[in-house]
Amino acid sequence: MAEAPAEASALPLTVKKKKSLSIEEKIDIINAVESGKKKAEIAAEYGIKKNSLSSIMKNKDKVLEAFESLRFDPKRKRLRTAFYTDLEEALMRWYRIAQCLNVPVNGPMLRLKANDFAQKLGHNDFKCSNGWLDRFKSRYGLVFRAQPVEATGTAVDPSTVWCQNVLPYYLNDYHPKNIFNIKETALLYRMLPTNTFAFKGETCSIGKLCKDRITLVVGTNMDGSEKLPLLVVGKNQTPRCFKGVKSLPVCYEASRMAWMTSAIFEQWMQKLDETFQAQQRRVVIFVDSCPAHPEVKNLKSIELAFFPSCISSKFVAMRQGVIKSLKIKYRHCLIKRFLSSVEGSREFTFSLLDAVDTLHLCWRAVTPETIIKSYEAAGFKSPGTENDTAATESDPGLDLATPALGAEVEFLEGLSIEGYAAVDDDLETFEVAPGDDEGTGESTPDEAGDYTSDEEEDGGSLETEVPLPSKSEAVTALVTLKHFLRGQDMNEELHNSLADLENFLNSLSPE
């Protein structure tokens, strides 16, 4: 066999290894280029070719996003993501929150939590192995060490820790339009000012007050551009006043105590998730930690962020002005309805259907400015912005005295519209002690398929069934409305709404 030439065998085989830079080094290179330093000097300093430097600048946005989002260890050299990205993001966020709250985490705990997240996210084929955990730790630069013992015995305020160390992760990961907060509040929907002090502080578990209450769930996004449809929880699945009604302007559910329940919450979240999926959005919704708010499985577009039970309610944005504004507007409408009845010598009636319509009207009137200021007051500020937490709208002019005097009605001396609106703020909205028969939030249907209601026990005097008008009566009413509005300064949106309403009436089948 012929031998290979000696010269060929003597040639050294040298393959120059491509240099890999960490995310941190790439950030330094980007800063150097943008500061005006010559690219040739930068390339020589880091030992890379000019085309490699050009590639880094071409992918500048990805590098900056990886660095600023803290999803990658700055020492990592690749931005390759894992197959289960949603699982890893959820697990990493849980780990960082545990760190902020000084909760020690080890490998077995991470494995259990990873399997738990996989089940909730619908990854039934996932099982956290030691190999997967090692790769996960390597991707994010996690090293488990013994927790240092605090030298000082001073306690750390959980609210401060959460606001400074946990909340920013969500604000970095989500655009303000995709950050939501929801909150329940009780509403005594028929209560007039004359009854205010008599009812304040009652538990709403028995008697007249119980049948006059609902639980209202409000929610908006952070930039004030979107309000979720109101969720109203009443005591009766089919109140008399709902007879013949096929659609409502709010989401309506029922439970035995008119409280939020885990079943209602889960069903509502699934509906919202379908809406956000159709919009191809990924959102985070901040909610209280309570038995009525379970972790809902298989949500594809919603991440539920639970406020720790130990933190102050001042971080709940809806409590910083949104709920107050809604209730002030609602109670002002209720007073006007009552005074109108007095002036017309008519019996005052106000059904649950009237309350639903009024709530929808008032909810639409809550301004984006009120919402934005409420989020700011709760500490929700976009990174890098300095916003003044000015007071929320106070609804000046919604006083009680003037219209009451005109109708010769006396209200309680010194009662303000704010005090009147806030009278039911402290009432319970969900079960506090699971298993307590009297206080359970779970609803038990009766034989007819409805929930037992005090409205039926007293003969339903305040929930009288009102017959629906005919199509011809509705058309006549619309004609009258159009004649009236022609004398007003209407905008294009209102003209379009009237046209849509008329087209809808014309589309209905003849009677």
Phi and psi angles of residue 369, each rounded to the nearest 5 degrees, phi first = -60, -40
pLDDT number for residue 110: 84
Please state the pTM of the whole predicted model. 0.66
Distance CA 382, CA 449 (A): 48
pLDDT in tens, 256-289: 889 999 999 999 999 999 999 999 999 999 999 8
For residue range 302-316, list pLDDT tens digits in order.
988 888 877 778 889
- Rg of the chain on CA atoms, in Å: 30
pLDDT mean over 196-203? 50
Mean pLDDT within 42-60: 84
Please give the pLDDT value at position 187.
Answer: 94
Specify the 3-state DSSP secondary structure of 31. Answer: helix
Cα–Cα dist 301/280, whole Å? 8
140-144, 213-217, 463-467, range with the lowest pLDDT: 463-467
Query: Lowest-confidence range among 100-104, 158-162, 455-459?
Result: 455-459
Q: What is the DSSP letter of 451?
A: B
Which tens digit of pLDDT belongs to each residue from 332-348? 889 888 888 888 888 88
CA distance 30 to 25: 9
In sequence order, what are the beta bridge partners of 5? none
